[in-house]
Structures are given as C-alpha cells and as structure tokens.
Structure 1
Amino acid sequence: MNTLKIVQISDTHLGASVDWTTEAARKVIDYIDTVLRPDFVVHTGDVQVIDPDSAADRNHGYGLLSGLRTPYRVLPGNHDIGEPAEHAWQGQVVTSERVEAFTDVFGPAQWRVDVGEVTLLGLNSELFGSGIDEEAQQWEWIEETVAGIGSERPVLLFQHKPIWTVVENSDHNLDIRESGALLLEHLERVNLKSVGTGHLHCFRTKQRGGALEVWAPSTAFMAGAGDLGLGDPVTQQLGIVEYTIEGGNVTAELLRVPGVDDALMTELEDVKASVEAVLAASAQ
C-alpha cells in the first residue's frame, strides 16, 4: 500500500464580514496546496461563523474553500445546519431546510470517497438524535455503504461531533450522545482505523480499540476547553491535522499553519459581533 496523506481542517467559522477567520483560512489553504500537498482534504464542519441561516456566510465559505487545488469534501457542523433540539445552542435546531441549504452549496452531507486503497467516510453528525427524515435516510445510507466496503479496506471516518462520550450529563451537545453506540455497532463490519471530528476547538488523540480518535482544532479561534470539563489533557492551539496512512496504519499529527496566530474568541471583535447579533435575534 502506498503512503497516503489526508488533511483535516475544521471549525473555520467563516463570515462575509469576519476578516480574522477569512485571513486564517486563506493561509491554511495556501499552506495545504503549496507545502503539504496531501492526497485529500476533509473539512469537518462549522464552515460558517455562527448563523446557519446566513446565505452570505455560506457562500463566502464556499468561495474560499473552492480555492483549494487539492480534492476535498465538506461536512456540516451545528453552526452550518443546526443541531438536535435538546440543548440546541440559542434554539438553532437542525431542519430539513437547513440541511438542503447546506447541500445545495457544498454537496452531500454524507459521502464515501475512495483514495487509493483507503476509504474515507463522511457523516452528518447533526442528524443523529434529531428525528427528522434525513436521520432515517442517513442510517439507511450507513448500513448500505458499510455493507459495500467489506472488512479489509482501511476506513477513516470523519464528522463534526465525536462519537464517544466527551462529558457525562453535559448541558451542551458535545457529542452524538446515545447514537454513538449504535453507530459503532454498524462500523464493526469495517476495518475502522480512525475517527476524526472537530467541534471542541482543541486537539487530542486517544486510542479506542483498533481506531484512533482524533479531535481536530479550529483554524479560527480557541474555545474554553476547561470550561467544558473535557477531562483528559488537550492541546489548545489553532491548526490542522495531517493523517499519514502507511501499511494499513494511521497516525495523526497536529500542524501549526505559518502566520495563523492563536487567538481566543473573546479577543476577536468581528466574531464577537456576529455572536451578539445571533443572541439579539434569538432574544426577540
């Protein structure tokens, strides 16, 4: 098996009026295309800064990502399409209309891509536990797709939120909750090598049986991981993740992108303004 390189970027939080995250994304794209030159790129969601109903932010994000010369796919996060109703941030609940708005621009919200002898699977984590029609359709797609992969090909899974529980009894949608166990049952039929997610704005790797769990950081800003009680030590840093697949084994390395300086959300006035606009609208 030839050595393959896959790059994961996540939580770019792009907005038409948000200069900081836009400039960071441009540097990330240039670094990927001119320095890393991987075989494939996966964006694991929260393309948009904060508002899933902002067509301007959605189109802005697409315009930037379409500048990638490397083949890529995009998955939705909660700020792209909303999330399950229980504990949904500011009432941003996933709906069929929001899913359609995303897929009209970025393409399917779940996909299989074969890169050489490796299979990449992308899933829409915001559907799990949502109860909308698209959730049932995704479960059917997972069952059919897993059956078609077989048990030999190495599989790298990507989605926005973690499968395994992050914090017990959290009031935040940090993972896919009860759906995680069922999803893992489906994945027992494939040679699952890694699970790459975003959402938590920090980096961590943890071996989960035969699979490497990877939390990818944001390219936009760091969040208060300590405030969420994440438990295990995490790396608070902006960056991207480079996966190396060699001989059927998968490793993941956190990379800092030159020129992208670490920042907290509270330090970014244009991001704060976007958040305040959403808060004001939800209070009406």
Structure 2
Amino acid sequence: MGALRLVHVSDTHLSPTHGYFADNWAVFHEAMQADPPDLIVHGGDVAFNGPAAPADLAFGAAALRALGPRCLAIPGNHDIGEAPSFSRLAQPVNDARMQAWRDHVGPQWWSEDVAGWRLIGLDTALMGSELPGEAAQEAFLSEALAARGGQAAMVFVHMPPFDADPADQGFSTSVIPPAPRARFLDACVAGGVKVIACGHLHVYRRLRHRGMDIVWAPPTAMVDVRRSQQRRRRFPRPGYVEWLLEPGRAVHRLVEPPRMFVIDVSGWTATSGGTTTTLPPRA
C-alpha cells in the first residue's frame, strides 16, 4: 500500500455575495476533481465573513461538500470569531457562532486515524477565550494524544503557535495567545506530535520547534504582498500543501497552481482597518 495523500488547504474566504476569491477556489476544486487525494483538510477561514454573515459559512460548507466525502475542516477567525480578549474585528467567538459552525460544517475539534497517523483538528478561537470549550478542547487534545498508541500525531490549527519567538508575551491577533500557546506546545511535545499544520497568515512557511515541523499553508484567496515582503522577504503566492503520510513519516510539498492568480489586497487593507471584510459586495 502506498502513502496516503492528504491536501491541506486554508484561507479560502468564500461567499455568495463577496466573490472576490471564487476563481482561485474553482482552480482548487478542479485540481481535486482531476486527481482526488485520499483526504482534504481545510485549515480554517472557509468563509469570507462568517461571524457577521452565516450565509457565507453555509456557502463555504457547501463548497467543501462538493469536494467529496473525504474532507475535514477546522474553524478560523473568519468562520467563528476570535477569542474575546484578542478580537481585532469586534467579532468575539460565542455560542451562536460556534453553533453555526457545527450546524453548517461539523465539530470544532476532532481526531482521525489514517496511515499510521493520528490527525487532530483544533479550534484556535477557543484558545485564550476563557469559555468552557477551551478547557474541554485542551482535555480532548491530551486524551487524543495519550490514546494514539504507536501512531505518530499531526495537529491542525488555524493560527500559527508563534511567529519568530515562541516565548513572545506581546499582544497579537496573528498567533495563538501566549498562555494557551505555552500549554498547547507543551501538550504537543509531551504527546509526541511530529507536525503542526496551520494557516491564517496567508503565506507558506516551515519552522522547526522542539522536534516538531510547523508548516504554514498559503491561502487560495488573497495575499498581502507588501507585508509579506517586509516581514518574510518572500513574494506570497496562493496555493496549498500536499502531504504524503506513511507510518512514522510525513513529507510535504508546496503546490502553487499556475492558474491560481495572486490577488494582492494590500492597497485595500492599508486604508480599511487591515481587513478585507469591509470590501463591498461583488458577484
């Protein structure tokens, strides 16, 4: 039996009323239909503005279902909101937004065993939220890792654990907040996690931390060329990450389809509060 092929896609920002990124999603959909992987994991921000427009979340969920039955997803901040103390867009995660995700997409956290690997998906909006779900999710992670047997573990989260410094205590809406970050990373190391797969910052990147690979998936939607070149010295392109999983071994490659075009939103976000959620409707 060959390696299991897993595609990690993230930050698609789909909407029936704000169709700015529909063409790139169509390219992704066509690629998945032409050469179907064994499993697709969406790493969050399925929707353009799910916290304010549940129709965006429903639209995105339908797009995921159209990919086929082997598709899992975790929520991003544009699906479910943000931890209340770290809510840049005044869209705190709450019961109604969490229920909308569960109704349209599925569970906020989950585990799946494939090819000698335990895959675990988590909701980073709960991290630092002080909601009851935060403790429940932490307990789930510990239990899922403790019960993995001889399987390796790979954890999917929307927000990266950190950018440059895992000990950074500064306020940020770009990465997991400091206190839950420390608990999360400690749990991953103690539980034998080999890979953390994330997204959120709309650029591909690979880090090594305490024996774990941390791999950032690019978006299929928009990029911010100015910010990426200033912070990463990298021209960002849309795409996705393809993994090959075998017992005890995981390798990945970055896929940047030639018909998936760069949509640079830095001109808009520079004058619009750093967000695309203020864009006007577009079919």
* CA drift at 1:22: 2.0
Once the two structures are overlaid, the 10-residue window that deviates more, 241-250 or 155-164, is 241-250
Identify the residue that residue 15 of structure 1 maps to in structure 2. Answer: 15
* Cα separation, partners in 2 of 1:234 and 1:205, compared to 1, 3 Å: farther
Give the paired residue count: 273
1:46–1:78 contact (8 Å) kept in structure 2: yes
* 2:89 aligned counterpart, secondary structure: helix
Identify the residue that residue 133 of structure 1 maps to in structure 2. Answer: 132
Structure 1 CA distance for aligned equivalents of residues 226 and 183 of structure 2? 27
Residue type matched to 2:126 in 1?
L
* 2:227 matches 1:226: yes
Structure 2 CA distance for aligned equivalents of residues 210 and 137 of structure 1? 26
1:27–1:258 contact (8 Å) kept in structure 2: no
Structure 2 CA distance for aligned equivalents of residues 261 and 188 of structure 1? 37
Structure 2 CA distance for aligned equivalents of residues 197 and 110 of structure 1? 14
Identify the residue that residue 98 of structure 1 maps to in structure 2. Answer: 97
Higher helix share: 1
Cα shift readout 1:66-114 (whole Å, capped 9, x = no counterpart): 1112501111011111111234122111112211111111110100011
Identify the residue that residue 114 of structure 2 maps to in structure 1. Answer: 115
* CA drift at 1:208: 1.9
Gaps of 5+ in 2: 270-274
* CA drift at 1:34: 1.2
Structure 1 CA distance for aligned equivalents of residues 110 and 187 of structure 2? 16
Structure 2 CA distance for aligned equivalents of residues 121 and 52 of structure 1? 24
TM-score, normalised on structure 1? 0.87
TM-score, normalised on structure 2? 0.87
* 2:21 aligned counterpart, secondary structure: helix
Identify the residue that residue 164 of structure 1 maps to in structure 2. Answer: 162
2:225–2:235 contact (8 Å) kept in structure 1: no
* Cα separation, partners in 2 of 1:188 and 1:257, compared to 1, 3 Å: same
Structure 2 CA distance for aligned equivalents of residues 11 and 50 of structure 1? 12
* CA drift at 1:190: 3.1
* Equivalence map 1:1-284=2 (5 Å): 2-35=2-35, 37-69=36-68, 71-150=70-149, 152-166=150-164, 168=168, 171-178=171-178, 179-224=180-225, 226=227, 230=231, 233-234=233-234, 236-246=236-246, 248-266=248-266, 274-276=277-279
Gaps of 5+ in 1: 279-284
Structure 2 CA distance for aligned equivalents of residues 51 and 191 of structure 1? 34
